[in-house]
Amino acid sequence: MKPIKYIFLVIGFILCNVNILQAQSETKETVPQENVIYKLEFKKEVDCIQDLRYDKLDKPIKGWLSEDKLEYYLENYEMNNKIWYTVHYTDGSNEKVLRTPCTIKHTTRQVL
């Protein structure tokens, strides 16, 4: 008779934890997709970005440079795509860069 009590105790414990986890996931706030924007971050000041395109789609990407010149916001970025661009820094140097999706940060439009 004791093993049956332990089985019911374990089942009750599992059901209780499932309900708690479900309640936590329901309270998590999500940001509407239209309020999410993607950005590139730089360690030194950028003068301009040129030839900003998707790697495989070969489509241009629109965007703008932040006031501090350390971030570039991507207006029409489609998630999970690599991008190519040429960056010109304020110190006169430039480089052609390939960015993978994991290096493209996201933020909300409210921050802008």
Q: pLDDT tens digit string along 59-99?
A: 999 999 999 999 999 988 988 999 999 999 999 999 999 99
pLDDT at 108: 79
Mean pLDDT throughout 102-109? 86
d(CA 78, CA 62): 11
Q: What is the pLDDT of residues 45-56, one digit of tens each?
A: 999 999 999 998
Cβ burial, residue 47 (10 Å; 0-12/13-18/19+): middle
